[in-house]
Structure 1
Amino acid sequence: MVSDRGGRWGFVYRSRWNVYRALRRKGMSKTKAAEISNEGRTRAGRSLMARKAAKTQQAKGRRR
């Protein structure tokens, strides 16, 4: 179960639980999934992640 309790139990914003669960289903660790899902809480955070993903794919030589 996803926790919004914090501290030793971890923390994921309630509005981002679906994202967290999806990442966990893909085999991501609890810590990494929580970091990604929490970062996407604001529009600025999602935009930041999109720019980072685009840069990563460009560095790997992938096409759009």
Structure 2
Amino acid sequence: MVSDRGGRYGFVYKTRQRVYRALRRQGASKSKAARIANGGRTWPQRSAMARKAARTRRARGNRR
């Protein structure tokens, strides 16, 4: 179970815990997964993250 308790137990918003778990399954560290999941709490924040990701992919030449 992901914590929304905070402090030494870590913190991930309740609404973003499914995202956190998905990132963990993909191999992200706990802190990195929490950072990404918490960063996109609202729809505009997620849109901004998506635009930045698209820019990054474009800059790297779309190689996978």
Distance 1:2 1:44 in 2: 24
Aligned to 2:22: 22
Aligned to 2:4: 4
Number of residues paired by the alignment?
A: 63
Shift of 1:38: 0.8
Q: Which residue of structure 1 aligns with residue 31 of structure 2?
A: 31
AA paired with 2:31? T
Q: TM-score scaled to structure 2, two decimals?
A: 0.91
In structure 2, give the amino acid aligned to 1:58.
R
TM-score, L = length of structure 1 = 0.91
Extract structure 1 runs of 4+ deviating beyond 3 A: none
| Gap runs ≥5 in structure 1 | none
> How far 1:59 moved relative to its partner?
0.7
Query: Percent of pairs identical after alignment?
Result: 68
Across the aligned residues of Structure 1 and Structure 2, the Cα RMSD in angstroms comes to 1.2
Q: Partner residue of 2:46?
A: 46
Distance 2:14 2:30 in 1: 15
Amino acid paired to 2:27:
G
